[in-house]
Each structure stands twice: as structure tokens, then as C-alpha cells.
């Protein structure tokens, strides 16, 4: 309130997820028109919480924190050019900085078998030859294709949980504020 805006802060990132966050930050730099200073971290929000019919969290159920903890639900309006949308379920692949998102279940199983045959684990690690590591990392771009709906990995767009990331939230972009207690 004092500054008139909120920006992301690296101190709140669980260390195990730091590589995944770095990947998302790199994607935001590539895909968004507004570029903050190099030390900025993303802010996360819901574009579509459960599906196209349940776009906002249902506060009657536990959605965050410990029971009895106070939270604030903000409804915000951001310019489309300042927001990067992604599939929340698929986000867990780069977040854990690990596995391959194939074009199909068969593609994934073939890729994993190929790595096994070469004596490698199917997870991204420093031992993988660059070709395979890059193939895993490049597969993560599917999280931004909201029309990607391979049943092995994700849902059709109207059934997805879709998250939004952006660099900064200005007070003028806040449409409403609801205080609530976690159930």
C-alpha cells in the first residue's frame, strides 16, 4: 500500500524449486513485453482456478495455509501483454526440473525407454547428454499451449487450472479485496 505496487521476492521460494523458478523467469523474459530489472521474481495468480466454470477459488474449502490463518483474495485486472498464462498441472514438470512432456503417452514412454537403454534416468540431471537434456527442457514449452490436451498429461482447456505470472501488481490494477480465514 505504501509503495503502490507489489513485486515478487526470491526469499519466499522453496529452495528445491529454485531451478524451476529460474526457468519460468527466463520464459517470462522471452515472452512478455514488459521487462523488469534482472532481480525481479514472478507474482503468481489464478486465471482459471479449477476450470472455465470455477475461475475463482471457492473460499468455503481449504485452498491455502493452515486452518484459521488469515488470507486476502484479490481480483485484479492486468493487461494481457503483461501476463504469461500456463497450465498449472504441467507447470510441475519444470517446477521440479525433471521430466519430459511428450506429444503423447507413447512418445513419452519411447523417450524414457531410450534413456533407460542408454543407461540414464528419465529425469533431467547433469549426466544426461545435452541432446536429451535439451529435449526435456524444450518439451516444457507445452505448458504455455493451453490447447495442448494429451490425456496422459493434462485436460482440455476448459477443464484446466490455468495460472498467471507477471512481474508487478500495481494498486490501480486491484479491482476488489476479500479477507478470509482458511478452513
pLDDT in tens, 7-20: 888 898 889 899 99
pLDDT 10s digits, 140-170: 999 999 999 999 899 999 999 999 999 999 9
Q: Decide if pLDDT at 4 tops 80.
A: yes
Helix (H) or strand (E) holding 123: none
Give the percent of the chain with pLDDT over 70: 99
What pTM value is reported for the model? Answer: 0.91
Beta-carbon contacts of 174 under 8 Å, excluding residues fewer than 6 positions away, are 74, 75, 76
The per-residue pLDDT for 38 is 66
CB atoms within 10 A of CB 1: 6
Q: Is 51 helix (H, G, I), strand (E, B) or coil?
A: strand
Amino acid at each position: 500500500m505504501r509503495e503502490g505496487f507489489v513485486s515478487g521476492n526470491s526469499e519466499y521460494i522453496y529452495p528445491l524449486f529454485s531451478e524451476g523458478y529460474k526457468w519460468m523467469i527466463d520464459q517470462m523474459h522471452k515472452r512478455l513485453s514488459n521487462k523488469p530489472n534482472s532481480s525481479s521474481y514472478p507474482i503468481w495468480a489464478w486465471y482459471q482456478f479449477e476450470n472455465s466454470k470455477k475461475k475463482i477459488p471457492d473460499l468455503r474449502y481449504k485452498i491455502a495455509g493452515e486452518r484459521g490463518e488469515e488470507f486476502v483474495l484479490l481480483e485484479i485486472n492486468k493487461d494481457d501483454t503483461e501476463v504469461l498464462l500456463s497450465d498449472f498441472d504441467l507447470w510441475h514438470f519444470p517446477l521440479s526440473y525433471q521430466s519430459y512432456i511428450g506429444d503423447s503417452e507413447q512418445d513419452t514412454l519411447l523417450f524414457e525407454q531410450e534413456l533407460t537403454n542408454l543407461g540414464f534416468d528419465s529425469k533431467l540431471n547433469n549426466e544426461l547428454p545435452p541432446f536429451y537434456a535439451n529435449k526435456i527442457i524444450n518439451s516444457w514449452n507445452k505448458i504455455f499451449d493451453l490447447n495442448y490436451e494429451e490425456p496422459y498429461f493434462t485436460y482440455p482447456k476448459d477443464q484446466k487450472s490455468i495460472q498467471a505470472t507477471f512481474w508487478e501488481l500495481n494498486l490501480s490494477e486491484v479491482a476488489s479485496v476479500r479477507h478470509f480465514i482458511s478452513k
